[in-house]
Structures are given as structure tokens and as C-alpha cells.
Amino acid sequence: MTEQEQARTPEAKNAARILVVDDDASVRMQVCFTLENAGYAVYEAEDGAGALALFQEHLPELVMLDVVLPDTDGMEICAAIRALPGGLHTPLVMITGLEDIDTINRAFDAGATDFISKPINLLILSYRAKYWLRSGQLVGELHEVQRRLFSAQKIARLGHWDKNLDTGLFRLTCTEPRMLGLTPDCDYEALFAAIDADKRDEARRQIEDACAADRPFSTHYPVRLATGDTRIVLNQGEVIYEESRRQRLAVGIIQDITELKQAEDRIRYLAFYDNLTGLANRSLFREHWNKVRPLASRNGRMVAVFFVDLDHFKRINDSLGHPAGDRALVAVAERMKLIFRHSDVIARAGDEFAPPSLISRVGGDEFTILATDMVSTEHIAHLAERINGLMCEPVRIENQLVTLTASVGISVYPSDGDDIDTLLKNADTAMYEAKRRGRNNYQFYQHAMNEEARLRFHLSNRLRQAIENHELILHYQPQFSTVDGRLSGCEALVRWQDPERGLVPPSEFLPFAEESGLIHLINELVLEDACKQAAKLVKAGMFAGCRMAVNISGNNIDFSILRRNILRLLTETGLAPEYLEIELTERVMMENVNEAREILQDLKDRGISVAIDDFGTGYSALSHLQVFPLTTLKIDKSFVQNMDASTNGRELLQAIIYIAKCFDLKVIAEGVETARQMSELEQMQCDELQGFYLSRPITVAALEERLQMTSASV
Ligand code: C2E
Ligand code: CA
Ligand code: CA
């Protein structure tokens, strides 16, 4: 490096750097001097090689370059600098000795920014340098912005286009046009060429209609890439006015939104479909109705709403576990899908007014079906039969064959309702009717059902209040020993002391209590009252050798809760366990065999009596006498009353008493209404008797009176 090539003012650290290249020492000196005086850091070179070296070392922000150099042509150096790192946008000013147009044009082609001719006007040189530096800086910034934009476009797989709506001129700016199904030099037509054929016209129409109406547009469409992939592309934009030229410009961005679309589809799936079975869910069911309804009212055909509830599904969950339950539901869903396959209800092809039917899962084991295009009630009934029929085939789960049945309720648009809420409610009501009629069948909604359901609802509300207001009271029906005729115990029987209706018998409210689950609360209350009452009688010395029998009923009795309650009450009231008897039917015990056996055994071991109630009705399996830990068998009153009607009945009764004795059970007969029944049962060695002939159920006061009489007579 020669001395002249050194920067003359290295201390000017923040000053803009200018490289001056000229072989004419006097010109160079004058220029450098002027620029230094103006505060710039100036580097000077006398030939091309020196210029390139200094450029790379100092990266000047402005280069002034003589056209004629000793070693090479200034134009070549100009082009060489443009190719150097950092040299692309640096302002390059050519110093021309001759003002001929040819040199100026060549300089322009070589990438020069500007030119200045000799002799140089030194008075204004520093000002011109200032202008050059500023425009250089602006160009640099512009390029930086553009670079960032491009990299952002690339990351976002974004392209930008605009079309001059007056001249038709089209431009595309895009780093990776092929990823959007375009080519770098594509025209406006090509914007649509890669769109799937059936979506192409629609996309174009949307954009062009919006442009014509001066509205923003946003549309997306599938685009087939050269690689064969299909991507979803969003095209979004608006019309702007170019003020300077008073022209309208449509500008848009195009973006690959395939992943976004996929996520959106997934969200839609989660929002509208049941994850387990893949059937529609409640929301989609409703949405579908909104589409179906207007079409149905136009074509005048019926729409049937089926409410399908699996019978005893809980048993599968309880006995085989939830995963097995889930598999059963999937199997059921698969069958449901068959309902509309090869069936006469598939929407007729070409019928624009026939929206498809839809099956959805709306709850654990509840399904709803929207069957469109129904022509007659028979048609609907036929479909319902198909549902019941498809369900009946056993499914294999966990290597077990399980038979599922369903109760189906049906409501029909327009006769049973105009809106989906009403139709669903009515189908649900009809489904309950199907359950009531023994399950595994279908029922059409009838207006009267609604009234019944309303009444039931009203009643369970009233019952709830009655419990809170202590309107439930107990009567006690005495039981007597056949050995000595003494009062041996009593059965607590609940009554509803309704301020409006008077004394309501249990047959009028317990069924609702069972349906609504209130029965569990009633069991508890009765147990509590009966224990308190018994404890009182024991303390008064009136209950020696007697038992207080309490009925426990309802679906799904939780035996461990029952035990906990009983033990708590015995402690609280101080009642000894041998005074208490609980009465359970076979049905109640069978619902949860293992738990019932274990806990009843424990209660029995503690001295509490356990009676099997209503024996002779329902299941009535003698084997149950062996399976369950019992102390007492209560023969149902229907047996006692049939005794007179047939000899057969008498023999059966005798046999039951005999077998009960073999199992070491005490036998008590209820419903004894006549002297004859009483003496026959005595002869059969039935241990105890209960019935209207001996005593009706009586109030506490009457019971106390009776007990006083007996204890006094002893
Ligand atoms: P159940 O357990 O079979 O109770 C015996 C029923 O037979 C009582 O009817 C009683 O009044 C009636 N009965 C007694 N002797 C005769 C007779 O000689 N002839 C006739 N025809 N009937 C007689 P009630 O009190 O109306 O109770 C009906 C049913 O309600 C009971 O049948 C029982 O299943 C249920 N129940 C009553 N009280 C309660 C209770 O506190 N809790 C629970 N869980 N259920 C109860
Ligand atoms: Ca009973
Ligand atoms: Ca009974």
C-alpha cells in the first residue's frame, strides 16, 4: 500500500468513507482535499488494483472513479466493485474527462450511479457528495427491507401480486412461486391455471366480482403443484388507488395455508363429531336439522327423529369395565351405520330436495337419528324395526358374547313438533315409554305421554319438597308369632302425609321416587326414623324379643353406603343390632351380587336380620336362598292369597316353607286376610304372620298402645 492510499484522516471514525480513484495526482489531490475539509474520511487510489483492494478493506460508502486508469478501464473496475460483497448498492460516481454520450451510457450499463465531468467544480463537490451518500443510504435501506420481506415471504410461503385494472399490467413478487403452483414470470391467467378444475372458475369469479365492486376479497382453493402435491392456497386482497397515476390496482397476497386448513378441519372434527365412534355429535345434529328442515317443508315429506337408548348398558361398564363398554359403543355405532345402507331410505339420486339422514351419538349410550325423506308412518316403523333388529345380534367383547338391545322413541316432523328441541323432547318421552314397556322395542310419540311426563316431573318436585317438609311419616304393621301369638315385630311402611291430599300410599309415589333417585334418600330417612322409634320402644321396655323391619329398595343400591348408614344409626340411637331387620327383594340383591353378598354377610354377622322380601314373585330362584346371607324369608302376599284358589298353590307354599327351613331361615307370610289363611299357615309351620286380618299398618301411638297391652299381659 503506498502512502497515498492511506486514509488521510483515520481519526474521523464516524465520518462517511469515500474512495477516490484517479491516476491524475493533481485532480486526486484537489478532490481529496475538498472532501476531507468537508469532514469525510477519504481513501485514495491511483489505479484499479489499488481501488479494489481499498474497497474490500474499508467498504467505502461512496466511490468516485476515473473512467481512464493506467492499468485498466474504469468501467471494468465499476463492474468489479458491483460484484464484490457490499458493492452492489454502493453509489459509484464516474469521473469523465470527456462529455461524450457514449462514455456516459457505458458507465450506466456498467452499473454506475452518476457521473461528474472534469474539470470538477470543487466548490459544489462536497454538496454533491452529500446527495450521493444520502441516495446510496436510501437505496441500501430499501434493499435491506426488500431482503427481509423476501425472507419473510419465504418463511410464510407468501407471494404478492398486483394487477393494474386500467392497463392490465400484472406483477408477481414471490421467492418460491412454485410452492404456490406458480412460475416466477407468470401472468394473471397463470394465477388460476394450477387451481383444481372444479374450483377454478369460482375462485376467479370471487376475485373479479370483488374487484369490480371495489370490495376486498378472500378466497382459498386447492392448487396442484408440479410435484403432484395438492396445497390449499389463500388469495386475499383489495383494490387500491395509485394517487400519482389515478389508476386502480388490485393487490393481493397468496399464501399456502394447507397446515392451517388441516388444523381447522381437525378442530371442526372435534367440534362436530364424537371422538369414540366417529358419528356426528349433538352440535352437528342440530346444524344438520337446520339444513334439513327448510327442504323438508318444501318437499312435504316427513322427517323422523329417533331417540335410541341402549338397555342396561351400565351393566357392561360395571361388569366388563369401561374399555369394554367403549368397544361395545363402537360396535353399536357400526351397526347404526348399516341402517341406511342398502336400504329403501337412501336419498333418491338426483332429487335436489332430499338432504341425507344423519346418525349421532348424543350421550353415553344415547343415539339420535334424523331420518329424512320419510313417506309414511309404516316407512318409519320399518326403519325402527330395523334398528331394533340390528341391535339384537350379539357382539363379541373381551371374548364374551354380549347382547345389546335398545329402546327407541320416535317423533315425527311436522306432526310432533316444528323445532328440534320439541322433536327431541318428544322422541325422548317416547323412548321412556319404550323402556316402560319392557325395553327392546320402539314407540311413536303420543301427545298423552307428554302430559304423563309433565305430571311425573311435577310429582317428583313435590316429593322433594315433601321430604324437606317432613311430610313422610311411618306406619307400622305388627307381625305375630304362630308359636305363641305374641307380637314379634313390625314392618315400617312409609306414607306421605300430604296437606292437600291426605295420606298418600307408597304405591302412588315410590315409583317416581325410584325413577328420580329420591328413593335412596327415602330409604335413609325411613331407616333413621325406624331405628329411633325402635330404640325408644326398647328403652321403654316394650320391645323385648321384637324386630323392626325396614324396606330397602331402588335401583343400584350402594351396599357399602347402606352399611355405613346402618352402623352409624345403631351407634347414634343405641339400638342393639338384633332389633333391626332389613327387607330386600331379589331384584335389589341381584343388581350387584358380589357387593350385596359381602355386605349382607357382614350385617348378618353383626346380628342384624336380613329378609328376602316378596318371595315368590319376580326372579324367585330357590338358589338365591343359598347364595345370599339371609335370616328371613317373606312369602309374598299373592302366594298367600292364591292359597285358597288352588291346591297347587297350597303345595307350593308348603314346599317353600319346607325348603326355607332346610336353609335355616325364619319364614314370615304377609297379606294374611282371613282366619282360614292364618290357620293353614300355622299348620304349615310358618313362623310368623303379617296381614290385615291380624292388624293393618298403624300409627306410632297405636303401636305403642298395642305393645303396652302385650307387655302388660305377659
Ligand atoms: P311390601 O314390602 O310388600 O309391604 C307390604 C305391603 O302389603 C304394605 O303395603 C302393606 O300395607 C300391605 N299389606 C299388609 N297386609 C296386607 C293384607 O293383608 N292384604 C293386602 N292386600 N295388603 C297387605 P304398603 O304399605 O302400601 O306398601 C307397599 C309397598 O311399598 C311395600 O310392599 C314396599 O315394597 C313399599 N314400601 C312401603 N314402605 C316402604 C319404605 O319405607 N321403604 C321402601 N323402600 N319401600 C316401602
Ligand atoms: Ca316389605
Ligand atoms: Ca312384601
CATH number at residue 380: 3.30.70.270
Q: How far is CA 49 from the centre of its chain?
A: 74
- How big is the chain by its Cα radius of gyration, in Å? 49
103: phi then psi, degrees, rounded to nearest 5: -60, -45
Q: Which atom of ligand 1 is nearest to the CA of 553?
A: 44
d(Cα 74, Cα 67) in Å, to the nearest integer? Answer: 4
61: nearest Cα among 112, 16, 116, 117: 16
List ligand 1's pocket residues with C-beta within 6 A.
477, 492-494, 505-507, 510, 523, 526, 551-553, 613-614, 637, 670-673, 690-692, 697
Residue 119: cis peptide before it, omega within 30 degrees of 0: yes
Is residue 600 domain-resident? yes
Contact 299, 354 (CB under 8 A): yes
Residue 504 CA, ligand 2 centroid: distance in Å? 17
Please state the atom number of ligand 1 nearest to the C-alpha of residue 634. 3
pLDDT tens across 196-249, in order?
889 999 999 999 999 999 888 989 999 999 898 999 999 999 998 877 767 888
Which of ligand 1's atoms lies nearest the C-alpha of 475? 25
**Do 91 and 226 share a domain, yes or no?**
no
Are 400 and 528 found together in one domain? no
CA–CA gap between residue 357 and residue 386 (Å, rounded): 15
pLDDT in tens, 424-457: 999 999 999 999 888 899 999 987 776 766 777 7
Instruction: Provide CB contacts within 8 A for 297, sequence distance 6+.
Output: 414
How many A from CA of 314 to the centre of ligand 2?
A: 27
Do 360 and 226 fall within a single domain?
Answer: no
Q: Are residues 310 and 163 in the same domain?
A: no
Closest to 173 in 3D by CA, of 163, 165, 233: 163
618 φψ region: left (φ > 0), alpha (ψ -120 to 50), beta (else): left
Helices and strands counted in the chain (H then E): 24, 26
Task: At 89, give phi and psi (nearest 5°).
Answer: -115, 5
Burial state string for 82-100 with b = 16 or more CB within 10 A and e = fewer than 16: eeeeebebbbbbbbbeeee
Please report the pLDDT score of residue 245 as a whole number.
66
In this structure, what CATH number is given to the domain that contains residue 226? 3.30.450.20
Assess whether 109 and 26 both reside in one domain: yes
pLDDT above 90 for 677:
yes
Distance 636 CA to ligand 3 centre (A): 5
Give distance in angstroms: CA of 689 to centre of ligand 3.
12
| Nearest-angstrom CA–CA distance, 600 and 580 | 13
Pocket test for ligand 1, best of 490, 493, 700 (most atoms within 8 A of CB): 493
Nearest CA to ligand 1 atom 19: 671
Residue 110 structural domain: 7-150
Residue of 613, 639, 670, 699 with the most ligand 1 atoms within 8 Å of its CB, for mutation: 670
Share of the chain above pLDDT 70, in %: 94
Does residue 164 share a domain with residue 253?
yes
Residues 181 and 81 in one domain: no
Pocket residue to mutate for ligand 1, from 551, 580, 587, 615, most atoms within 8 A of Cβ:
551
> Residues 378, 234: one domain?
no
Question: Among the three residues 238, 262, 286, which one is the final residue of a domain in this structure?
Answer: 262
687: exposed, middle or buried (Cβ count in 10 Å: 0-12, 13-18, 19+): buried
Q: Is residue 287 part of a domain?
A: yes
Identify whether residues 202 and 301 lie together within a single domain.
no
pLDDT digits (tens, 9 = 90+) for 540-560: 999 999 999 999 999 889 999
Identify the DSSP state of 663: T
Looking at the fold, whether 535 and 622 belong to one and the same domain comes out as yes
Ligand that lies nearest to the alpha carbon of residue 616, given by its number in the listed order:
3
**Ligand 1 centroid vs 434 CA: distance in angstroms?**
28
How many domains in the chain?
4
Closest CA to 603 of 633, 577, 622: 577
Q: Is 325 a domain residue?
A: yes
> In the prediction, which pLDDT does 618 show?
59
Based on the fold, state whether residues 404 and 488 are members of the same structural domain. no
352 or 203, which is more confident: 203
- One domain for residues 295 and 439: yes
Looking up residue 20, the CATH number of its domain turns out to be 3.40.50.2300
Q: What are the contacts of 50-56 at 24+ separation with CB within 8 A?
A: 50/1, 50/2, 50/5, 50/21, 51/19, 51/21, 51/77, 51/81, 52/77, 52/80, 52/81, 52/84, 53/1, 53/5, 54/5, 54/19, 55/19, 55/81, 55/84, 55/87, 56/84, 56/85
Band of residue 642 on the pLDDT scale cut at 50, 70, 90: confident
CATH of the domain at 686: 3.20.20.450
Nearest ligand to residue 510 Cα? 1
Tell me, yes or no, whether 18 lies in a domain.
yes
Helix/strand/coil percent split, the chain, to 5: 45, 25, 30
